[in-house]
Amino acid sequence: MMSLILVAVAAYLIGSLSFAVIVSRLMGLPDPRTFGSRNPGATNMLRGGSRLAAVWVLLGDALKGWFAVWLVTHVAIPLGVDPRALPAAAIAVFVGHGYPVFFGFRGGKGVATALGVLLAFQPALGLATLFVWLSVMAVTRISSISALSASVAAPLLALIFLQDAWGRLTVLALALLLIVHHHSNIRRLLKGEETVFRKKAH
């Protein structure tokens, strides 16, 4: 039990590295929690006008989700830690992103971090979920609809790509948490007030 707690705490601390805030400080940009949706994530960085910063944030947030699961899979479990540490780490790194201890517990929605977790679980699962996000985004140009669609698709795709029950339940839990994190977006969608990313004319 103690090893599970230690793994969860370590994963939570990894998740608490808010790359939107870190990248903004390194690049001399405004704190993403002060403009747009006030969400420290890649989408809001793009909303702030910096594509490069958005890319770095996307990669950083996805990498920490992937890294937390990779550490458990390739280091902790081979050393004898209970395999249940894997779902514990996956959930904890996601929670860390949403409620980062290093940044006043004001975190992001967790889309990129969840994607990183899925890629670590099974690359095909992560890529299939990403395909859903990209496809919906290409049609709607609304990030939240893309994220919600991917959240619904991920547990279904997990039935195809994952064989163990713990993995499937973990993906379902992540999907439900993502939907909860998008509660304000859902309200704006129902009111027709959600942001649409327009294609720039050339």
Look at the pTM and tell me if it is higher than 0.75: yes
Enumerate the domain spans of the chain.
Answer: 2-191
Model pLDDT for residues 154-200, shown as the tens digit of each residue? 999 999 999 999 999 999 999 999 999 999 889 989 988 887 876 65
Judged by phi (left if over 0) then psi (alpha if -120 to 50, else beta), residue 199 lies in beta
Q: By the 8 A CB rule, do 57 and 45 touch?
A: yes
Average pLDDT over residues 35-63: 86
Model pLDDT for residues 88-142, shown as the tens digit of each residue? 999 999 999 999 999 889 899 999 999 999 999 999 999 999 999 999 999 999 9
Q: Does residue 53 register a pLDDT over 70?
A: yes
- Secondary structure (3-state) at 28: coil
Distance CA 59, CA 113 (A): 9
Q: By the 8 A CB rule, do 109 and 175 touch?
A: no
End-to-end CA distance of the chain: 58
Q: Does residue 49 register a pLDDT over 80?
A: no
Average pLDDT, the chain: 91
Q: Output the 3-class SS for 76-134.
A: HHHHCCCCCHHHHHHHHHHHHHHCCHHHCCCCCCCHHHHHHHHHHHCHHHHHHHHHHHH
Model pLDDT for residues 1-45, shown as the tens digit of each residue? 778 899 999 999 999 999 999 999 999 888 888 887 788 888 888
